[in-house]
Structures are given as structure tokens and as C-alpha cells.
Structure 1
Amino acid sequence: MRLSLLHLLVSTVFLMALSAYHIQGQALDQGLVPRGHLRLQAQPIYTTWDSRFNQASDGSERIEKLGDDLSSHNGANLFPDLEILQSSLRELMEAPNYEPSLGPTTGRVQQEMTSIKFAAEVGVSEWLTVGVLMPWNQTRTVIDLIHTPDTLNADLGLNPTIQDPSAVQSFLSSINSASSDAQARATEICAGGANASCVSALELAARASAFESAISSAYTATAFFPLAGSNTGSQLTQILAELNTALSTANLSSILPLVLAQTTLSSGDFAMMAVTPESGIGAVSPVQSRRGLWGPGDVEVSAKLRLADNMTYPEVL
């Protein structure tokens, strides 16, 4: 038996293609189409997954849940600039080990894809079929976000700049006035030379200025702020009361009462924080399940060959 030169050439090219083991295709697993015939096919496929491969800091590979990006023992860690709030409050309370807490957050994410593969194939000859395949896909992301307020240990709530911005602005304005008055008083007293009264006035001015800087930074850092009734909120209130006492003793105007967070965050509130400008995330929609539009995937062309069969060919002399 001797194959024709064309069959040998096609077989050689096909075997070379097989050696490129990274080549993959979406073609449906079907046989050859008879010469002159057209075959149309549609195959629905549903795929779902909730984990992925990732690389750990030590270089090792691991499998992690998709929801890990939305999970933390402290939900505040999922938002940017928490370290600014933490640094400001540490400075105010002189507590270098303080860590703000919002309560644990758990995210469960499942990715789904529904695909319909449309294929058209034409039989060119008894041993060659060519075709084209186009998948039509739709994706869906299912998100369950559960935030559990920690009523015992959490000390953060919704920033009052979101709920009552005018009250916060009035409070900050009163701090600015008190700080400016304290600085003006120190300048006036120290004009007569360095003495105990000058040192005391400078210390009060520096104290008021430091409080103004730190509390202003805390208000603008994140969408969260210490809760009224929490240990942190009570400490800040006490610090302000002591500063007001010093200002009053110096015959300076007092600062308005501290505006603390009044609301803890529910799971629904937490999901909406992504679209809150103060959160720093800048999302256009809350964290929730979403379904994509149907759209085309990668279009592929295919060729199917019969390399050999039980037919015999006349020997060419």
C-alpha cells in the first residue's frame, strides 16, 4: 500500500502540529463531515468555581478561595488608609499598640459561566473537514458578604462626616479657633521674654495644635470613626475635656463636644461602603451579585483530517 504524496504531506504537517503540546482548541469532538455536507451544532456548557491558584509570599503555590479578598478578622482592614486613622488615634491617646476594630467580615464568592458553542463544519473531501466555532458566553458572580458587628471589642462605626458633616465641621472650626487663640496668647506672653508663663503658654499652644492636627486627620482618613460609648470614644472625650480645662484656665474659648460615630455597620451597610466616597474605594456599585451580558468569545477555525483508513491505493509504477 502506498499513500499519495498529498496524504503524506498533510500527515507530516499534522504530526508536527501535535508536537506543540500547548495548542488547545474549543472544537466539538465529532467525526468528519461527508464531502459536500454542512453540519451545524450548538453545545451548552455551564462552569462554576469558587477557588483559584495563587502564589504565597515564599514562592509556593496554593489554592485559595475567591472570597478571601473580602474576608478579614477586622473588616476595616479591607479599606484603604486605615493606617492613617490608626496613627492619628495612637498619637491622640498616646497608645502605640492601639488597633482600631470594626468586627469580622466573611466573603463568599462563586464565579459562574454559561456558554453556548455554535459550530459550523463543511466536508471538503472524504478525508478533510473544515469549520468555525464561536462561543456565546455569559458570566455571573455570586457574592455573599457577611459583616458581624463586634459589640464587645469593636470600637469603630460610621464616620460622622457622612451622617452629620455640619456638626463635624463646627467641631473642627472650634478647634481651629481655640488653637489659633492659644498660639496668639503664647506669642503675646513670650514677647516679654522667656519665663515660666511663656513656657506654659507655648506648651498649651502646642497641645491644642497637636490635637487639632491629629483629630482632623482621623476624621478624614477613612469612612470609620470611634463609636460613642466605646473605650476609644471615652478616652478621646476625656482627652478633650482635659484640654478644655487647660484652655478655660488660660481664659481661652473652649472646644465644642467631640462628635463620635453613632452607628455600627450592618452587613447591608458594609456592602454599600464601596460606593461611599469617604471609603476611598471609588466603586460605582455596591458589593453584590451581578450578571454580565451575553457576548461572543474567541472565534476559532478548525480542520479535521483522516490520516489513514483501511482503503488501499493502486501502486504507482
Structure 2
Amino acid sequence: MRRTLAFLLVLLALSTGELCSQAPTHVLVPKGHVSVLFNPSFDSWNSRFGKRIEGGILVEEKEPLGLDLTDQAGTSLFPAIGKLEEQIRALTGDPSYSGVLGAADGLVVHDVTRIDMGAHVGVLDWLTLGVVAPLVKNRTVFEMSFRPDSLGSDLGLNPRISNGTEVTGFLDALESAYNSVRAHADALCSNSSGSAACSHAESLAGRLQSFRGATEEAYSSSGFFPMQGSAVAASLSSALAALDYEMVSIGLNSIGSSLVFATDWLTEAALFALPTTNGIGIEGFPLQDIDGIWELGDIEVSALMRLLDGGGPSSGEASPFVRYGLMGSLLVRLGTGTVDAHDIFLDLPTGDGQTDIEVGVSGFLGIGSRIGVRSSARYGLQMPTTLMRRVAPPEIVMPLASTLREVRWSPASYMRLEIEPSWNFSPQLYGFGTYHFYSKAMDSYELTGNQDRNSTAQVTPVFVEDLKDESSRTFHQLGLGLRYSTLNALGAASEQRPAEVHGRVIYTLAGSGGHTPITTRVEFGIRLFQRFWGGVN
């Protein structure tokens, strides 16, 4: 009886793990028995415990996943527009210029369906070995509205995409104009150095060179450019006309070409297709729903050892009022899952693709015939691995392909704490609660120096610290569950084939880190036990 009650208390444990955890491994199976588990679970979330800088102040609060795709001007979705704005400010002399694409409003929902399947063997009375293999199916629901405003928006698709020849012709005309002014200035200054005409020609050559350089940078900095007919287009044209007028006034030919402006608005359909649009530089799959296929996650191999079993009755005596036990565990999580793809935006991983080693200790306390409490503490070391990543801030959903780098990823170690009180309604049916705490420090990344051989350009400077940002994770979860078990005589000789069924709902109540999901999990599980040796058949 003592062993049976202790065993039931241990069964209260259902290892929650991080958001993509595996099935329970902290269950001591009696010697000679094999347990087979089948545990489906469903996780869903559309928000996170985020953090961001607003007005120089760090803001940490719950925020929707779609926040990274929401902006009234639309420009924060594409950080390269910042370079375009810098060049336009230099060309127009307007230090306050800020571009507008259109109002963007995004909605993102992730869900993960997984089926944990495994077996555990009671090798000795105090030792259980097991393996659990998960099948994982990820899904991302993506919705977004984008509304360009013909009155307020002033940026459209870069004319280099649809009219590259004309843009090249204009830049060549600017280069020819500069060469003409440069030659004129050299001729004047060689004969009358220091004269007003020489100074004016030198000044014009310098300003024309700066205008040409800033214009070329503006065309190449992003996939966008001022729209034809917009106020900023008029300002740019005026700046060019002023230079042209000065050239003519000193007897030189006119530039003979005009700025080429955008003629196509960024529409909602065009926005979704931007990753596949030539000339934009994103080079990925279009923004859309992602309905993944069933894939293998990270396989776990575990060992569980009884360290202490106390409070048991002597032969022929009734079960004591207080029972307790202590166990140690060792788990190796293999990197059999796949990480998220760098060119499928809003993709989810099925695993980390690297090996974890986890050690833990768990204990239980039984009081009377109704009350039980289990607690556990686990510490995990995560081994480094090498992978391809677009090195960009975490809030950028569609980084440029030129940011793709091979990096050495060293995930931080983590700690888990769990407390699970239970109440027995009957010898077979009991309810239990769950409190789960998880904490992981910031990961480490290093550039290996190896570039993507398939990429045509690796010129964008990157800061590997962007990958470290918001990689830490802390959360608190609460849950309620119900379990029905017929394991009353599992620890002794029996003709029975015991089984158990459980269900639980668990919610992420609090957390931090920047990208820590606020998940709701619904899970169901069944375990079947069969004796293969030992005892009485």
C-alpha cells in the first residue's frame, strides 16, 4: 500500500517545460513494467510579454504579436527607409522630413499541436529509463490591413524595380554634369585661383557631387522612393532645378534629365508579395498563413532514480498518515527538431536543433488519504550549435537577405521549478493544480565569418547583439487538471493491466523577456502499463 500511494503521488507530475516541452519523464515505473504514453497537447498565443523603447523610456508590458506589423506610417516595418529619409533630408535641407507609406495593422496568431509518444521501463525498483519522441505541427495565422493614403502618403515602390534604365540614365546624367562643372572649375582656378568665379565653380562642383551621391544612395537604400506629385518630390525637383540653373548661368549645358519618382503605390497585395519582389532585397516567402506539416521534434532520453522513500508502513500495518519521497533525474534532449527557417517569416521551430542536458530533483509529500504535494527543481545546460540567421533587431519581421550570416549560437542555461498540489476525490480520481516557473538568461551569438555562398550581396553591416536582445525568457504558469488512474496494485503482483488518463489546462500568467509568449495550453494524456518480468503473471 505504501508503494502504491507513493507511486500515485509521483504520477501527479506532468512536466510542463518551456513552451515546447516534451511529455512527462518524472514517473518511476516498477521493476519489470513498461509504460507507454500518448500525450496530445495544443498551445495557442497571440500576445507576448514584450518590451520596447518609447520616447527614450523602456516599456515592458503585454503586447500583441502583430505589433511588429502595425504602424500608422508603415515605415517601421522596413528599417532601410531610415537611410532613405536621411538622404532626402540632406537633399532637401529639411531636417524634419519623415516618410509615409500608409497605415499598417497586423494580426498574428501562433498555435502548436504536438503528440508526445514514448515508453519508460522499470529496470530496477529504483531506476526507470525512458524515451519520448514528439510529433509537432505548427500553424501561423496572419492577417494584415494596409491602407496607402493618396493625400498623406508620399512613398511608393522604388522606380529602380520597374524603370531601372531611366534611373540609371538620370544618375549618368548627373555624373556627366559633375564632370562638366569639375572641368570648368579646374580651368577657371588654374588661371585665376581665388577669384569669385573660381570659388563659385568649386562650390557648385562640390554641391553637385554631394547631390549625385545622396541621390544614388536614396535610390539604392530601400525598396521605396518618393511618389510622383508628392510634396517631397517637388522639393527634390526644386533642389535639382537650382543646381541646373547655376550650371546654365555659368555657360554650361543643362543637366538634361529629371529625377525619376515612384509611380506605384505600395498596396496590400504588393506588401504581402514584397519578399518575392526582385529589387526589394528581402528574398523570402510571401507573408501569408503558415500551415505546417507534421515533423519530428527534439527527442528526449531520460533516467529517473529513487533517492529516498520514507514514511512507509511495516508489514501488516496500515499506511502511515505522512509519506514522502525524493528522486533524481537526468535527461538528454537531442537536437532532432528543426529551427525556424530564416526565409519563411513568422515561422515556428519544431525544436532547437541542439543538445540539452538537464538534471533535476523532485520530491513528494502525502498527508492522509486526500492530500498530496509534489515539487521539483531542474537545471539545464544547452549546447552550442551553428546556424544561419538574418541578423536584425527582433521586431523586424522581414530583414533584408543581405543580413544573412552564419552564427554560432550558445543558448543560455535554464532553471525550472514546479509545485503540484493534489486532492483525491476517490482512490482512482483526483484533481491537481500546477505552478510552473521558468527562467533563462540571455543567449550568446558570434559571427563565424562564413557568408551565404548563394547570396549575391553580403554588404549590409550587421550587429550580432541584435540577436541577443530579447532572447532571455522568464514566465510563471498556473494550471488545473484531473486524473483518473487504476494503478492501485501496480507495485505488487497483480493480474491487472493498469492505465491512467489525465487532462489539464495551463495558462502563462506573468513573464518578461520581450518575446515571451502568453500561451494557453490544453493537454490530454493516456498511459498504459504492462508487466514483462518480475512479480506474478
- C-alpha separation in 2, matches of 1:59 and 1:252: 55
Change (3 A) 1:49 1:157: same
2:221 matches 1:221: yes
Deviation of 1:169 after TM superposition, in Å, equals 0.3
Q: Are the aligned partners of 2:131 and 2:300 in contact in 1 as well (CA < 8 Å)?
A: yes
Q: Are the aligned partners of 1:33 and 1:129 in contact in 2 as well (CA < 8 Å)?
A: yes
- C-alpha separation in 2, matches of 1:310 and 1:209: 90
Q: Are the aligned partners of 1:50 and 1:65 in contact in 2 as well (CA < 8 Å)?
A: yes
2:467 aligned partner: none
Q: Are the aligned partners of 1:228 and 1:260 in contact in 2 as well (CA < 8 Å)?
A: yes
Q: Secondary structure at the match of 1:191?
A: helix
Q: Specify which of 24, 29, 37 is matched with residue 27 of structure 1.
A: 24
1:41 aligned partner: 37
- C-alpha separation in 2, matches of 1:247 and 1:114: 68
Q: Which moved more, 1:139-148 or 1:302-311?
A: 302-311
- C-alpha separation in 2, matches of 1:81 and 1:56: 19
Q: Secondary structure at the match of 2:62?
A: strand
Q: Are the aligned partners of 2:22 and 2:116 in contact in 1 as well (CA < 8 Å)?
A: no
Deviation of 1:207 after TM superposition, in Å, equals 3.0
1:15-51 deviations in whole A, cap 9, x for unaligned? Answer: 9xx9xxx999722899x87875544332322211111
Change (3 A) 1:197 1:299: same
Q: Are the aligned partners of 1:130 and 1:304 in contact in 2 as well (CA < 8 Å)?
A: no
- C-alpha separation in 2, matches of 1:60 and 1:171: 46
TM-score, scaled to structure 1: 0.79
The structure 1 segments of at least 4 consecutive aligned residues displaced by more than 6 Å after TM superposition are 22-25, 32-35, 124-129, 308-311
Question: Which structure 1 residue ranges, 5 or more long, are not aligned?
Answer: none
For residues 234-313 of structure 1, the aligned pairs below 5 Å read: 234-255=234-255, 256-276=257-277, 278-280=279-281, 282-293=282-293, 294-301=295-302, 312-313=314-315
For residues 38-117 of structure 1, the aligned pairs below 5 Å read: 38-56=34-52, 61-117=60-116
For residues 197-212 of structure 1, the aligned pairs below 5 Å read: 197-212=197-212
- C-alpha separation in 2, matches of 1:167 and 1:64: 44
Q: Are the aligned partners of 1:108 and 1:145 in contact in 2 as well (CA < 8 Å)?
A: yes
Change (3 A) 1:91 1:35: closer
1:46-69 deviations in whole A, cap 9, x for unaligned? Answer: 211111223455667422222222
- C-alpha separation in 2, matches of 1:239 and 1:125: 85
Change (3 A) 1:309 1:168: same
Letter in 1 for 2:139: R
Q: Which structure has greater strand proportion?
A: 2
Deviation of 1:258 after TM superposition, in Å, equals 1.3
Question: Which structure 2 residue ranges, 5 or more long, are not aligned?
Answer: 318-537
- C-alpha separation in 2, matches of 1:298 and 1:50: 27
Q: Are the aligned partners of 2:26 and 2:304 in contact in 1 as well (CA < 8 Å)?
A: no
RMSD of aligned alpha carbons? 3.7
Q: Are the aligned partners of 2:133 and 2:296 in contact in 1 as well (CA < 8 Å)?
A: no
Task: Between the two structures, name the one with larger relative contact order (CA 8 Å, sep ≥ 6).
Answer: 1
1:209-234 deviations in whole A, cap 9, x for unaligned? Answer: 22212211211111110000111112
1:127-159 deviations in whole A, cap 9, x for unaligned? Answer: 987644322112122222322212221110001
Residue correspondences, number: 300
Letter in 2 for 1:290: I
Change (3 A) 1:250 1:298: same
TM-score, scaled to structure 2: 0.49
Change (3 A) 1:177 1:125: closer
Q: Are the aligned partners of 1:115 and 1:136 in contact in 2 as well (CA < 8 Å)?
A: yes
Q: Are the aligned partners of 2:161 and 2:278 in contact in 1 as well (CA < 8 Å)?
A: no
Letter in 1 for 2:251: N
Q: Which structure has greater helix proportion?
A: 1
Q: Are the aligned partners of 1:102 and 1:149 in contact in 2 as well (CA < 8 Å)?
A: yes
For residues 78-227 of structure 1, the aligned pairs below 5 Å read: 78-122=77-121, 131-193=130-192, 194-227=194-227
Q: Are the aligned partners of 1:70 and 1:106 in contact in 2 as well (CA < 8 Å)?
A: yes
Q: Which moved more, 1:83-92 or 1:290-299?
A: 290-299
Q: Are the aligned partners of 2:25 and 2:302 in contact in 1 as well (CA < 8 Å)?
A: no
Letter in 1 for 2:95: P
Change (3 A) 1:304 1:187: closer
Q: Secondary structure at the match of 1:74?
A: coil
Letter in 2 for 1:227: M
- C-alpha separation in 1, matches of 2:230 and 2:100: 11
Deviation of 1:109 after TM superposition, in Å, equals 1.2
Q: Are the aligned partners of 2:29 and 2:128 in contact in 1 as well (CA < 8 Å)?
A: yes
1:234-289 deviations in whole A, cap 9, x for unaligned? Answer: 22122222322322233323221210000010112112323446545x44222222
Larger Rg: 1
